[in-house]
Structure 1
Amino acid sequence: MERSIFFLIVFSSLIFILILNLQLGSSTLEKLIRDIESDDMFLSSMSSVNHIFINENNDPLNLKNLTDIFFSLASSIRTTDHRSFIRNGLPGLSYYDTEIVVAGEGTDLTTLPYESTPPIEVLMKEMEVIEENLKENTPPNNTVLPSPKDSNIFVYHTHNVESFLPLLKNATTPKEAITSNERANVVGLGKYLTAKLLNNGLKVYHDTTNINQELLNRGWKYSASYAVSNEIVNTATSNYPNLEYFIDIHRDSARKEKTTKIIEGKSYAKLYFIVGKENEDYKKNLAFAEKLNTEIENKYPGISRGVFLKTTADGNGVYNQDVSDRAILIEVGGVDNNLDELNRTIDIFAEVFTDVYWEENGGMKE
């Protein structure tokens, strides 16, 4: 009897799918069955035929659970998540899957960070920079550059072409804030941060690979950026086993009112931290991000927009953070912030990161 009901549900669900002409992609299926333990499901299915397979908790997969699963497969609705009832009908609702762990000043469900994918025509076009709004973006380096083999801090940029509108000619919308010119994109921020950390006695290896160009060369979509940066990170860890701290620098697509803070008459670009929840050890990375965030907020209240958790529902979900429990992703500023605002915030981050680094490594800032 139970087997008949089981196959009836399967058959009905398949008919329902055909009627609605639904197309279930791998990402949709992954979201729907994410919480299902495969071993338990197999044993529970077997227990419907032979009760010897009932698990140790005497809790086989019951008819209600089976109904929920196949209803979800047929309709893309998860009965345990009320948002799924309207997510597919309202574009952009999946954006709210981002989890706020620490809410900074002005952070709520209406100001969540989000990833904006530039159009291919923008990614293939080289935007001109505004020379008068640029300046040397690297502070004087008073130390000898360490060998990569001696470095234990790795700075890189998955979305290396993310730039800022005040630095680009004829660019007015967030999706146009793109350039491979390192003086005007996040790579320039990485160079500035690297020099600051080196001056503080830390040993840093800065990777400046043009990941966007690599994507174009391979014919890959922009969404595959993390696949390329993952190759870069894994190669670095193989070649330089001392690497422990990983900093992936991005910028947000939000506008200036959300990404700017005035402190004592000076304007700063806000920053925030993203932690990938799909990383098995994400709680360790989260603890490190929270530690940095707390120190930043203690010294400069309002600079941080907070700490956020993301899954594959609204981002990459791992962000290369499985390589180390000291791997972080920071978003510095937004598309409207200028170089002075960005550099001031990098100064703050470098100061706090250095303090935390020496605290964790039993030393002191030189």
Structure 2
Amino acid sequence: MKKNKPFSLFIRINGAVLSVIFIFILIAGMTTILSLKMSSDSVGEVLETSDLNKLYLYFFGSENKYYIQNSKDIKDIPLTKVGFQIATNIKISDIRTFFERELPGFAEFNTKIELAGQGTDLTTLPIESAPPMDVLLKERDIAQNELNENDSNENNNTPPPSQTTNGKQVVFIYHTHSWESYLPLLKGVTNPDEAVSSNNRVNVVGVGDYLVKDLAARGIGSDNSTINATQELHKRGLDYYSAYQFSRGVVQEAMAGNHDLKFMIDIHRDSLGRQKTTTTINGKSYARLVFIVGQNNSNYEKNTILAKNLHKALEKKYPGLSRGVVSKDKSEGNGVYNQDLSPRAILLEVGGVDNNMTELHNAIDAFADVFSEYYWHMKNAKAF
């Protein structure tokens, strides 16, 4: 028997070594074949979307049934499902996660629909174009006839507001992608990817100027940044993808110079066509709106509530105008959108590449109407 001990020990050591090798081969094979992904991001996502209180109670209950005796949902927590999601970053209930790393561009569908407006689904999500710097720097003629016609239709005979911010600017409007423009406002331009301009009369900066007037008519003081983001990025040797890095400094400077600011609105333009970005309400044509919230900002919950409240208010007075509230993480966009700087920050997409000036102004009129009611309600309720 003594002679067999070394042999038995040898067998055990070899068995352990072979087991370890087998496990490594198995893991490597699964990673290669199934493209499994184990990362802090996937673990974090599971934890963020799971009810941790239930998870804790589940583990306590495994030792003491008292904790879960009246909680059937806790008893039925599928730990194998949670473990599978952590290991693979795949959600059984969400088919998109099976394809996002295999199909180019499919990650765009990771956008979460927080609150859907009319016709909003995975096929009508806002699309962000990324034109190269040479396209952004190219000058384009404006459609003067479109502007002249709209100027003649403006009505400035508005009664004075019943309450005002007494000269204080409480809303800061800015434009991370200040170059975003609209095809009907550009002469001879038909390619949606070239719907860009540095002329503030025909890009989103002009939309911001119009919002300032609308808010002032309702007693709310605001400031609109007219900074040419294209020129500033080019001057610094930066590209399109550094736009939020640049606009962050713009917002921080505005906040440091004006402590009365309560709301931050970043105005953009969607790249989708007319069919998905236009609606008719009581015989008037409107450019539709959509709210975007960054999932990776520390004020995500508060900013989402703000966006949802504004969407619901729009839906009540102007049904169909808002396409809803969507959120994006860093896998498909900036993920923060400077919204960590304020609990009252929104990114507002105003129309798409095919909307004209009248439709844009109608949309801003409606937004200013609803936003001002919300602002005064919250102000009088001493919410800020």
The alignment's TM-score, normalised by the length of structure 2, stands at 0.75
Matches within 5 A, 1:139-154: 150-154=168-172
Matches for 1:1-366 after TM superposition, within 5 Å: 31-32=41-42, 34-35=44-45, 78=90, 83-135=96-148, 150-362=168-380
Deviations 1:51-92 (A, max 9, x none): xxxx9999xxx9x999987x76xxxx6577753442232122
Distance, in Å, in 2 between the alignment partners of 1:240 and 1:7 is 63
Q: Please report how far the alpha carbon of residue 126 of structure 1 lies from its aligned counterpart in structure 2 after TM superposition.
A: 1.3
The separation in 2 between residues aligned to 1:11 and 1:66, in whole angstroms, is 20
1:9/1:67 contact within 8 Å kept: no
Shift of 1:99: 0.8
Gaps of 5+ in 2: 1-12, 48-58, 63-78
Contact 2:270 2:353 in 1 (8 A): yes
AA aligned opposite 1:327: A
Please list the CA deviations of residues 163-199 of structure 1 after superposition, one character each: whole Å capped at 9, or x if unmatched: 0000112211211100010000000000000011112
Letter in 1 for 2:113: I
Determine if contact 1:160/1:185 at 8 Å carries over to the other structure. yes
Q: What letter matches 2:197 in structure 1?
A: T
Q: Conserved in 2, the CA contact under 8 Å of 1:149 and 1:239?
A: no
Q: Given that residues 132 and 240 in structure 2 are in contact (C-alpha distance below 8 angstroms), is that contact kept between their aligned partners in structure 1? A: no
Residues of 1 paired with 2:132 and 2:253: CA distance? 29
* Aligned-partner residue type, residue 259 of structure 2: P
What's the TM-score once normalised by structure 1's chain length? 0.78
The secondary structure found in structure 1 opposite 2:347 is strand
SS of the equivalent of 1:182 reads coil
Q: Comparing both structures, which one devotes a greater share of its residues to helix?
A: 2
Secondary structure in 2 matching 1:361: helix
Aligned pairs, how many?
330
Secondary structure in 2 matching 1:87:
coil
Contact 1:141 1:198 in 2 (8 A): no
- For 1:11 and 1:121, the matched residues in 2 are separated by 49
Q: How has the CA–CA distance of structure 1 residues 6 and 317 changed in structure 2, closer, same or farther, with 3 Å as cutoff? A: farther
What amino acid maps onto 1:194 in structure 2?
A: V
Distance (Å, rounded) in 2 between the aligned partners of 1:66 and 1:240: 48
Deviation at 1:339, TM superposition (A): 0.2
Alignment RMSD: 3.6
The worse-fitting range, judged by mean Cα deviation, of 81-90 and 233-242 is 81-90
Unaligned residue ranges in structure 1 (runs of 5+): 38-54
Summarize deviations over 1:79-133 as a string: whole Å, max 9, x none.
7775344223212211110111111111111111121111333112112111111
| 81-90 or 124-133, larger mean C-alpha shift | 81-90
Provide closer, same or farther for how the CA distance between residues 222 and 14 of structure 1 changes in structure 2, counting only shifts above 3 A: farther
Quick one: percent identity of the two aligned structures? 43
Secondary structure, aligned partner of 1:134: helix
Match of 2:53 in 1: none
Going from structure 1 to structure 2, the CA distance change for 1:82 and 1:10 (only over 3 Å counts) comes to farther
Which aligned segments of 4 or more residues in structure 1 are displaced greater than 4 angstroms? Answer: 3-17, 28-34, 55-58, 64-69, 77-82, 136-143, 146-149
SS in 2 for 1:171: coil
How far has the Cα of 1:150 moved from its partner? 3.3
Distance in 1 of aligned mates of 2:238 and 2:172: 25
| Cα distance change on mapping 1:219 and 1:305 into 2, 3 Å | same
- Given that 2:180 and 2:269 are in contact with CA atoms closer than 8 Å, whether structure 1 keeps it comes out as yes
Counterparts of 2:212 and 2:24 in 1: how far apart (Å)?
A: 57
Question: 2:176 touches 2:247 (CA, 8 Å); kept in 1?
Answer: yes
- Alpha carbons of structure 1 residues 230 and 13: separation in structure 2 relative to 1, 3 Å: farther
Q: Write the deviation string for residues 256-303 of structure 1: whole angstroms up to 9, x where unpaired.
A: 010111122221111110011111221111111111111111001111
Larger Cα-atom Rg: 2
